[in-house]
Structure 1
Amino acid sequence: MPITDWPSAERPREKLLAHGAEALSEAELLAIFLRVGLPGKSAVDLARDLLKHFGSLAALFAAPRPAFSAVPGMGDAKYAQLQAVLEMARRTLNEEIRGSSALDSPEAVRRYLGLLLRNRDVEVFVALFLDTGHRVIGCEEMARGSLSETRVYPRELARRALALNAAAVIVAHNHPSGRADASEADRLLTRQLAQTLALIDVRLLDHFLVAGHRVESFAEHGWM
């Protein structure tokens, strides 16, 4: 049965307008994005098939273009739309964290770093540079590595902090394996970064680890 024949209260778009996006399931949200289904399948049915095929909403967003476009009913146009949605979310969160103190909006920082680093197939190390009011003045990728490691040089981080006149730094990296515990190498690197930055009177406020859907704070876990 097409969605247009459903009771109004059960249609994803009407449900969103009446109760907000948070009231919808992942399949219903995805159905609004898809707009139409396939012969014999509603947009919600197609959305459920997509989620089952890729395993999760996050995996769907991270799917390579050939894999996504190969699914019946999808294609390059839908892939481009999906990537545009993801990039708009990243830019919205980037504006949010730049407009206020990173310490006053820690959840926005977590969400931004999660979107930035989740589902990468190699380790990526990024730094958020903050001014004296802890507002974000820059976000830069500092290193990119193999599946299991990346090379980060404390002196390079310190050089960029000086160039941007930063007063504090928040760093983050991902674990493509999905392992959410910091390794001893991760903790050693964090201490080295903090010590090097301290020499130029810049504070390392936190180090975030992105692993799957989890974004773990070194400071909160006592890993600094």
Structure 2
Amino acid sequence: MSIRDWPEGERPREKLLALGAEALSDAELLAIFLRVGVSGRSAVDLARDLLSAFGGLRPLLEAERARFCAERGLGEAKFVQLQAVLELSRRHLASRLDREGALTSPALVRAYLASRLRHLGHEEFAALFLDSQHRVIRFESLFRGTLDSASVYPREVARRALELGAGALILAHNHPSGVAEPSDADRRITERLKEALGLFEIRVLDHFVVGDGEVVSFAERGLI
């Protein structure tokens, strides 16, 4: 049966308009993105098949191009469309940070950093550069690869902060293992950066470690 033949209250688009997006299941939301199904399968059926094949919504959204495009009902056009949607989401979070300020919206900072770092299969060290009023200047990725105290260069972070006229910054990096617990190396990196940036009166306000399901704040743990 086509979705058009379903009762109006069960059709994903009509349900979203009536109840809001939060009322829809992952499959229903994905069906709206897909728009159409394939032979013998409605868009909702196809969405359920895809969620099962990928092991859930997040693995589907973060799938590599070749893997994504190989699935029936997807392809390059859908991959491009999805990347655009994800980037719009990241930019929306960034614009909210610009308006609301980093320190007044800790949950928003977490969400934004997770959107930038959680999906990466490698370690990446980044900073949210802030002005003297703690408004966001820019987010930048600074170092990539296995991170330890020898691979993160305080002088490079300080140089970039001075170039941007930053008065403070929030550090962030991801753990591809999915475990967000700060390591001894994370603590050492943070202390070295605090000392180096302090020479220029640039404050390190926090350091977030992004894991699979959690984002840990050094400030909240009393580690900074």
- TM-score category, normalised to shorter length: over 0.9
Root mean square deviation of aligned Cα: 1.4
Match of 1:73, SS state, is coil
Residues 182 and 209 in structure 1, CA contact (< 8 A), matched pair in contact too: yes
> Per-residue displacement from partner, 1:49-108 (whole Å, max 9, x unpaired)?
111111121211111111011001110001111111001101111111122311112222
Following TM superposition, where does structure 1 have runs of at least 4 consecutive aligned residues deviating by more than 6 angstroms?
A: none
Distance 1:221 1:28 in 2: 39
Distance 1:92 1:126 in 2: 19
Distance 1:189 1:140 in 2: 17
> Is there any run of 5+ residues in structure 2 with no aligned partner, and where?
none
Aligned counterpart, 2:103: 103
Distance 1:188 1:30 in 2: 43
Residues 208 and 216 in structure 2, CA contact (< 8 A), matched pair in contact too: yes
Aligned counterpart, 2:38: 38
Deviates more, 1:188-197 or 1:115-124: 188-197
TM-score (norm 1): 0.95
Letter in 2 for 1:30: L
> Per-residue displacement from partner, 1:146-172 (whole Å, max 9, x unpaired)?
4x7692111111111111111110011
Residues 27 and 47 in structure 1, CA contact (< 8 A), matched pair in contact too: yes
Displacement of 1:116 after TM fit?
0.5
Distance 1:22 1:39 in 2: 29
Letter in 2 for 1:40: G
> Per-residue displacement from partner, 1:122-149 (whole Å, max 9, x unpaired)?
1011101101111101111110114x76
Correspondence 1:183 to 2:174: no
Residues 174 and 180 in structure 2, CA contact (< 8 A), matched pair in contact too: no
> Per-residue displacement from partner, 1:177-224 (whole Å, max 9, x unpaired)?
111211110111111111211111111111111111322211112233
Distance 2:97 2:105 in 1: 7
Distance 1:46 1:198 in 2: 55
> Is there any run of 5+ residues in structure 1 with no aligned partner, and where?
none
Identity %: 58
Aligned counterpart, 1:144: 144
- Tell me the number of residue pairs that the alignment of Structure 1 and Structure 2 aligns: 223
Match of 2:100, SS state, is coil
